[in-house]
Amino acid sequence: MEREVELRRKIVRAFQYLESLGVNFGYSGNISVRIGSDRILISPSGRRKSDLVPEDLLVVDLSGRVIEGSGRPSVELPTHIAIYKARMDVNAIVHVHPVYASVFAVLREGIPPVLEETVIYVGGEVQVADYAPTGSPQLGENIVKALGDRSAVILANHGILTVGRTLDEAVDTAVYVERAAKVYLLARLAGKPHPLPDEAYRLEREIYLTRVKSNVV
């Protein structure tokens, strides 16, 4: 596992990168990474994310207790903790509010696997977690259920959340999901989108499962 000092820098750069692509904006979104068996590094609440510096991040244990840092951790901390407890393969979580994916969040409609990369990087359809108030334990439960063994989920009336073995994976998946949402929405406006053939879906799903179960990052 990477050193904490480097992970702090990576989280700061990730927020700047996501904003540069229009995948996240202003004060919204949150990111965390595992830094041990029972601790995570998470972004603070109430701060413009692209202005964060490494020292702004907080170390929190899996009971929600702040170990290091000032200020308040993200209001979505209960969701992050729920995912880390349920998915031992997950070492990073990214939650953002991109425009096109948020259209499907408002529709409460999943993004089907119309692109190969959606299956390879997400594991299949991007499903929708039932609505619950931001930061509530119920939202965490809903997200864990809808996420399953995949790497991305839509939060009803909210945004998207992605996970990865590394922060780079979780960030890249967020970008892929926003691209898939845009392509699928435009395809629906232009005509009738066609899902991947079953055999292609099966093969790409195997690629995904092999990759996420591998120790090679």
76 assigned to active site: yes
32 within 8 A of 15, measured Cβ to Cβ: no
Choose the catalytic residue: 2, 19, 68, 76: 76
| Contact of 21 with 41, CB cutoff 8 Å | no
User: Which one-letter amino acid corresponds to residue 147?
Assistant: L
Distance of CA 36 to the CA centre of its chain: 20
d(CA 8, CA 54): 5
Helix, strand, coil shares of the chain, percent, nearest 5, are 45, 20, 35
Q: What is the DSSP letter of 156?
A: T
Give the span between the Cα atoms of 156 and 212, in whole angstroms: 26
- CB-hemisphere CA count at 13 Å for 24? 26
DSSP code string of 36-65: SSSEEEEPBSSS-GGG--GGG-EEEETTS-
Active site residues: 76
